[in-house]
Amino acid sequence: STVKDHSIFTKLTVHWEKEYFKDMRDLNVLPPDILTRVTEYVDEIIAFVQKIIENGFAYESNGSVYFDTPKFATCEHHDYAKLVPEAVGDAAALADGEGALASEG
């Protein structure tokens, strides 16, 4: 089904955004100079994800989109694990990082 009234998302996010900034004020954290809301970029995100799928680096399954890490790993000049280079090829580290998504049961 498709949501026709997107105001329900705006109301929810505005509520929690106000709560968050109230907490930050209470903690004496300065507010940001620029605020970027992901909800304002949904069309761009959809287009970006669609391009990743078209390029063969992601796939749809059961209504979700997953990044194809093995396919990405075959590309020259790309390293999926560049933040933790020693974890490349470490199945246990991958399973730990992916959590329940990587488990069979």
Task: Give the CA radius of gyration of the chain.
Answer: 19
Please identify which residue in the block is written with the tokens 């730990």.
96
pLDDT digits (tens, 9 = 90+) for 46-100: 999 999 999 999 999 998 999 988 888 788 877 666 667 777 777 777 677 666 5
pLDDT digits (tens, 9 = 90+) for 2-25: 778 878 888 888 999 999 999 999
* CA 61/CA 27 separation, integer angstroms: 42
Please identify which residue in the block is written with the tokens 């990405």.
72
Q: Is 96 exposed, middle or buried (CB count within 10 Å of its CB: 0-12, 13-18, 19+)?
A: exposed
